A and B are shown apart, each in its own frame.
Chain A
Amino acid sequence: MTETTKALAVGASETRADAKAKAQGREPYAADNYPDGLLWAGAVRPGALQGVAHARLLGIDTAAAAALPGVVKILTAADVPGTNRQGIIHKDMPVLVGDKLRYAGDPVALVIAESPEVLRQAIRLVVVRLEALPTVCDPVAALADGAARVHDERADNLLAAAEIRLGEGAQRLDHCDVVVSGSFATPVQAHGFIETENGVACRAVDGSLTMTISTQAPFRDRMEIAHALGLSFDKIRIIAPCLGGGFGGKDGATVQCLLALAALHSEQRPVKMLWDREENLLAGYRRHSCRVDYRLGASRDGTLEAVHCRLVYDTGAYAHLGGEVMALGMEHAGGPYRIPHVLIEGQCVYTNNPVAGAMRAFGVCQVSFPFEAMVDELARELGVDPLALRRKNALLPGDTNCAGVTVAESTGIADCLDLVAGHPLWLERAAWKAAAPSGSRRGVGLAAVFNAAGYGAKVRDAAIAKVELTCDGLIVVHNAVADMGQGNAAAFVQIAGHVLQQDAARVSVRQPDTASAYPSGSSSAGRTTFTFGNALIVACEQLKARLINRAGLLLFVDDDSTLELVPGKIVHRASAREVSLARLVGFLRDEERSCLGEYVAPLCPDPGTGKGFFIGFPHVVFAYGAHLARIEVDLATGQIRVVDYLAVTDGGQVINPAMFDQQVHGGVAQGLGYALMEDLATRDGQVLAGDFSRYLIPGALDLPEIVSVACAGDEARGPFGMKGVGEVAMNGPLPAVANALADGCGIHLRDAPLTPERVLLALEKLAEEAPQ
């Protein structure tokens, strides 16, 4: 079969199962789907074309567009058969707007055409009459009395508000020896996945819908579509091939409902929707911007005593997961520290800005910036080493975190900090800084960060894994949680190979298909490999026991413990006999060839001390990280160059070290983009960037040789002791770089990203303030 017959092993840097096909350009993505007879669907989004973000819809004239040869159909809200509402928790987002636009990307019509060229022309020919309404685009202004309301049926623009209070709360700050404070603003960030939102749908004669979508949540998509369009969800089949990136932006309806609606009007022809980059930046989800007011107090000996944090998240025109993003940010707002007195107040606000949603680190990188900038400021005030101050206050097992939850095991932030403390990049910092070339300054900054894994309280975080022995004696894992690139599918192959002792050539994965896999939640929240992996272990153990038992029947061996699964066969070493899996499978009924494993992730037994939270608060499993950035600032241009970057991560045990590093590198890269350049700015609700020349993401020359170090840990509840590490690395770069900037240049930027303009302005201001 193959020259390599070594069983896959958890803990080894096995080559990712998907790597070869992807490297050869053979992996099929949703966007690669061009079936015969294809129609094209596209949305009419008049707000961006007419420069309005909030407007009454007065009328739509489709006559000119409909007369264009090649236009098949033009649909409006009146053609939407169901509730015409989508949204994961709050169903507040119309598939097609019928009354008013709440942001510049709101769609009012759906055009179906024979070709993309005709589609583009027809979209331009749809005449939409709008009456502009007062816009509210600033989240703080949106909370003022008399502010224009984004949703007419709501009393105000407040989507969610919550509070975490511990000990004496903010009052304790009055009694602290030292208090530092600051007001911060974090930018909107685009996911920037290279494969934009897309899918293909086809309706069969029996009315059932089959859709291939670039999605992180195929099973939930069925519910969303069924609800919005009044269909029966068992008539909807979603196939979710590998994604060309997701990062949270494909968690929730993008093309799904529009595409399903198009399919209902395409007479059994397949119909494709593919957003271009401009549409992605306008109508795709994005990271919430956030305003933060922060106060942190400590005693003279450097013991953190109290924190008060006020957060305002801008969710844009629709809720999506805004309340939950806010909740997770709040849960982390005190940092990975022991602080007895806490008041964290959060608000999530509707505005006429584009819709914010889930994105890697889900509300947490908005708070890691202030909490880590404040810890550094405190270190300066106290005249102590910033690493020692962090280490002194770092959460240890048994401590209570800032959400009021006692963290029991696998709390490795102190160990992560110790690894940084012993690293040459930290130890040799003084000499490195002193060697700054003329015209530049060098600085070194730290960040201690954490990120919860799992859905959190009140959301069932469960998975059902299926593993199958094929008629050829090979193993197939039926993945149910989409692989957006993080490599969970490859991890599943590795886990199955490890448990069933099969080699790489004998284990493959079938990507999620609601017709063959079982509901297992979304690919998100650092829970994908954790939850599905645990379920898969159960399934594989069952299959292993069954195969060995059947082999025993064939080989007349009554002690299962003397039979051993090895690549391609089961052997009985004592009698030197064996049976191949290809032969053994002939003795199994079809339904016996598959095993299902179920798993429900643990919920936090501790309710925490929050109030006002709906779901997703609090959590019980956290990944931790300690980051170090060494930067060089060009004093003439204000340009920051990140020269070295070290990320130490406690992700529990590591299933695949190479894939662990991939996640950390990627999180740091996205975090450095967030720190240095990314800002999906709007003016009056209009997105200013329509492409990658105006929305910049880091290229190969913008990033350093990121160094990832795993901090040995063990999360007893995780599969093989692992915790999800996809998100935590995102939280370090902005504060680490900001702290390095303060270290090197003495300037304290509170608005991100830390652009050359902001750096130069701050340097000028510092020079003006300096004594003559």
Chain B
Amino acid sequence: MSSEIVFELNGEQTKLAVSPTRRVIDLLREDLKLTGSKEGCGTGECGACSILVDGELRLACLMVAGQLAGHRLTTIEGLAESPLGARVQKSFAEAGAVQCGYCTPGMEVAAVDLLSRQPDPSRDEVRAALSGNLCRCTGYVKIVDAVCQAAGALDATEDTAR
């Protein structure tokens, strides 16, 4: 029951024989071994599987392979190909936004989605944009720092030191 699906994956034209109803998260992790996207709930609540489809934030656990046909998919593995994505990854590491790291790829994808629409967000705007991504380790302070740092909006260390 597989059919041929053509889409752009992290900048490369990709042709796959896959069941059109296969979840994108399974396609990525299991079939393509792109395991940077994580699954934390399978029901769209945790955001760990966040991806960009045509540059917009989507959840790989709520999409099926057929929906990718003709579209442009960016995963955490391809995020650094844009200067913004590379900056977000760097600032997450440097701002201390990474603990267990399991929410990190999805969080960064959501951050890139935000910053591509709003390059200079307030901390509240960052929190709102990340509210679909659950993190159990950080308490979000340093994640917000990282996003603001990536945006160049403010100096993260000054802000948390108060």
Name A's B-contacting residues (CB within 8 A): 13, 15-16, 18-20, 22-29, 31-32, 34, 191-196, 242-247, 276-277, 484-487, 658-659, 661-662, 665-666, 668-670, 691-693, 697, 699-701, 703, 705-707
Contacts and interface: CB of A to CB of B under 8 A. Distances in A.
B94 A692 contact: no
A114 to B, nearest CB: 13
A31 B162 CA distance: 39
A678 B21 CA distance: 34
A659 B95 CA distance: 10
By Cβ-Cβ distance, the 3 closest A-B pairs, closest first, are: A25-B36, A485-B100, A244-B102
Contact of A666 (B33, B127, B130, B139): B139
Interface string B104-142: 110010000000000000010011101111111111111
Nearest to B86: A24
Given A661-B160, A703-B140, A691 B29 contact: no
A484 B99 CA distance: 9
A662 B43 contact: no
Given A32-B29, A194-B38, A242-B100, A691 B137 contact: no
A603 to B, nearest CB: 31
Given A194-B103, A245-B137, A658 B41 contact: no
Contact of B160 (A16, A666, A707): A707
A683 B162 CA distance: 45
A632 to B, nearest CB: 15
Given A15-B93, A699-B132, 15 more contacts: A23-B97, A24-B76, A25-B35, A25-B104, A25-B105, A31-B35, A192-B134, A193-B100, A195-B102, A245-B136, A277-B40, A486-B99, A659-B96, A697-B134, A700-B143
B139 A703 contact: yes
B7 interface: no
B92 A16 contact: no
B46 interface: yes
A440 B7 CA distance: 52
A662 B137 contact: yes
Interface residues of B, number: 58
Contacts of A15: 93-94, 96
B155 interface: no
A34 B136 contact: no
B93 A19 contact: yes
Contacts of B141: 665, 703, 705-706
A642 B111 CA distance: 24
A interface SS class = loop
Most buried by B among A16, A191, A245, A487: A245
A18 B30 CA distance: 24
Contacts of A669: 136, 138-140
A250 B140 CA distance: 23
Contact of B98 (A16, A28, A195, A277): A16
Interface string B43-59: 10110100000000000
B33 to A, nearest CB: 7
B101 A27 contact: yes
Nearest to B85: A24
A16 to B, nearest CB: 7
B41 A666 contact: no
Contacts of A699: 130-134, 140
A764 B37 CA distance: 47
A18 B102 CA distance: 12
Contacts of B33: 34
A40 B133 CA distance: 28
B92 A668 contact: no
Given A692-B134, A700-B143, A707-B162, A24 B100 contact: no
Contact of B140 (A16, A243, A700): A700
A6 to B, nearest CB: 16
Contacts of A277: 40-43
Nearest to B127: A700
Contacts of A247: 136
B45 A195 contact: no
Nearest to B19: A117
Contacts of B37: 25
A123 to B, nearest CB: 16
